Every structure is written in C-alpha cells, then in structure tokens.
Amino acid sequence: MNSLFDLSGKLALVTGSSQGIGYALADGLAQHGAAIVLNGRNPDKLDAAAEALRAKGFEVTAIPFDVTENQVTEDAIARIEREIGPIDVLVNNAGMQFRTPLEDFPGDRWEQLLKTNISSVFYVSQAVARRMIKRRCGKIINIASVQSELARPGIAPYTATKGALRNLTRGMCTDWAQYGIQVNAIAPGYFKTPLNQALIDNPDFSTWLVNRTPARRWGEVQELIGAAVFLASDASSFVNGHTLYVDGGITACL
C-alpha cells in the first residue's frame, strides 16, 4: 500500500514556497521521495528555504521567478524542464491577501490580487500542462481556501479569487483529464502562517475562530501534507476536478 504514496523519482514544482504553506508542502512531498523545485520572488528567502530542506537530505533547487508574468513564467518552466527534468507535480501555492472594507478597496490592490491569486495559476499551469500533455501524465494541485466557499467581511476580492480558483480547477480537469493529468485543489481553513499573522495576533478573532471551528483550534501547516501527498501520488489516479477542504470542519456547520 505504501507504494501508492511513493513519490520517488518525481519532480515537484511548488510556487510561493519560501515560507508558510508552500514550504510545508515542499517539505512533505520531499519526505515522500520527490525532488523539489522551490519558487518565489525573494531570492534570499528562497535560498534559505532551500538550504533548510537540503540540510534534511532532500534534493532541492531554488528557481526565483515572478509567476504573475506570463513570458517570465514560460521561460522559467522551459529552463526547469531543460536543466532539471520534467515536472511531474505542480503545486500552485503563490497567493496574497489584503483586508479592507469592500467600499474602500483600492483598485490597484484588486488588480494585484487577480494577478497573484488567479493569473499566476493560469500562467504556470498552462506552461506546465503543455509539457504534461505530451507525456500523457501529470499532477496539478491548486491551493484554494475555505473562502472558495464562504465569505468574511473585508476580504471580498480575495474570496472572489479563491472562488474562481475552485472553478478554474474544474475547468482544467475538464480540458486536461483526457491527457492523463489530474487537477485538484486543496482548500485550507485557518492555519498558522505568515499570511494570517495579523489574525493570529488578534485575540478577538482567534477566540471567534476557535468557537466557530468544530476542531476548536487553528490548523498547523504540517496537517496539509497528507492531502498534498495523496493528490500528488498514484493514490489519487481517478480523482479529478475535486476541491479537498482541510479546515477542521468549518465548512461543515453553521
């Protein structure tokens, strides 16, 4: 049974992986045998993350590039495939958040959210999928959110991008499953990450969240690894277009 989850010989590209969820998922995939390509826009943070994973004995390459730029992304994917190897697993984790009342939400921030949370997934997935199609196999995992399904005050544009990502996952499945590619999403609930630090530090919000979540706590990023390994491995060979909520039950109840 363990062979179902074995990623030995696979190459995984994880975007936005210098910290937080992306780093945890890269670590988890490496633990199960995958070679890892880390991506981010800050070369120093990316190198530090790569060194930390290499210290554990993992095979890791750091490739900084801006996933919100289409041609830059295409060139980077071509370089990875040429110099490192074919990408077997793509994890689209790069994302951002900005909180303010919707009536005051700046237009430039709206555009930035769209580029970072949606356009980047389209650009990277398209560049990788063109090559996966030729090989007739591949795994794409998009990192969605409970905000793919729910909304909270002050983050309507973020909610819009994550809802779009859920349906983009379905669309990618619809077009690419015929080529042996599985495209699924993981939708985390509230996890202790740098992106959520302001909420973690807010005692009122943390109290609300603990009371609202059936598990009665924040999630730890390591608790996302099992879902990622499942969707990256042969264990999910007939799972496609699915969004897997890892949220302590928050989407299951009122």
Active-site residue identified among 123, 158, 190, 245: 158
Q: Is 98 helix (H, G, I), strand (E, B) or coil?
A: coil
As a whole number of Å, the CA-based R_g of the chain is: 17
Q: Please say if 158 is a catalytic residue.
A: yes
Can you say how many angstroms the Cα of residue 167 is from the centroid of all Cα atoms in its chain? Answer: 15
Gap between the Cα atoms of 231 and 66, Å rounded? 25
Bridge partner list, 180: none
DSSP string of 177-234, one letter each residue: GGGTEEEEEEEE-SB-SGGGHHHHT-HHHHHHHHHHSTT-SPBPGGGGHHHHHHHHSG
Catalytic residues: 158
